[in-house]
Amino acid sequence: MVEIRQKLVLASASPRRLALLNQIGIEPDYLRPTDVDETPEKGELPRQLATRLAKIKAEAALAWSKRDTPWTGAYIIAADTVVAVGRRSLPKAETTEQAVDCLRLLSGRAHRVWTGVSLVTPSGAIRSKLVETRLRFKRLTRADIEAYIASDEWRGKAGGYAIQGIAGGFVVKLIGSYTNVVGLPLAETAALLDGEGYPIRARWSSPLVPAA
């Protein structure tokens, strides 16, 4: 009997999410970023926003896969990460002003990071998971903020920072999944895939070599 290898599509252009999947021996067969409106709806809580955006990204990728025959029936992973202070969702900082506002708000305070993960199964069903991590930043000085802005690490990052870089030195407390803050909670994502029959351990005996 010929074994049919299951295909996996990552519905994201994020190099961080790709690197995280590679970390646990998973190499997507195709990257299919989705273009969706990420504006929060009126009164929408951060956890609701993360869940909704992950699902609509998954739905958009599923619709594409049905039009592109080679990818019909593939597993599809989509995710969205939201940084929140209380009921307020912080933006994915694209300007210096946005990043500075985020860092000033996070300085010396607790905040939460929510990531919604949606998995499309070969049958077209969508399974979802929401993961929360709680963090606290040290009190940031003006020099901290100015130097971090100059690093440009914040650009395009939820909440205006990347924990896997310089901003890891801002975190004085973290409760929950670290990889969730980076952009994809690995334990929960692996559990979703495993539960739906994707062979997550297939390459563990021959680990992937990270790209240089």
Give the domain CATH number at 57: 3.90.950.10
Q: Do the domain assignments include residue 42?
A: yes
pLDDT tens by residue, 76-123: 999 999 999 999 999 999 999 999 999 999 999 999 999 999 999 999
Total domains in the chain come to 1
* Catalytic center residues: 80
pLDDT tens by residue, 11-31: 998 999 999 999 999 999 999
Q: Is 73 helix (H, G, I), strand (E, B) or coil?
A: coil
Phi then psi for residue 191, to 5 deg, are: -65, -40
Angle, in degrees to the nearest 10, between helices 142-151 and 96-106 = 140
pLDDT tens by residue, 133-147: 999 999 999 999 999
pLDDT tens by residue, 144-196: 999 999 999 999 999 999 999 999 999 999 999 999 999 999 999 999 999 99
Residue 66's domain comprises 8-195
Q: Do the domain assignments include residue 209?
A: no
pLDDT of residue 196: 96
| One-character DSSP codes across 79-96 | EEEEEEETTEEPPB--SH
Q: Do the domain assignments include residue 185?
A: yes
Q: Do the domain assignments include residue 201?
A: no
Q: Do the domain assignments include residue 12?
A: yes
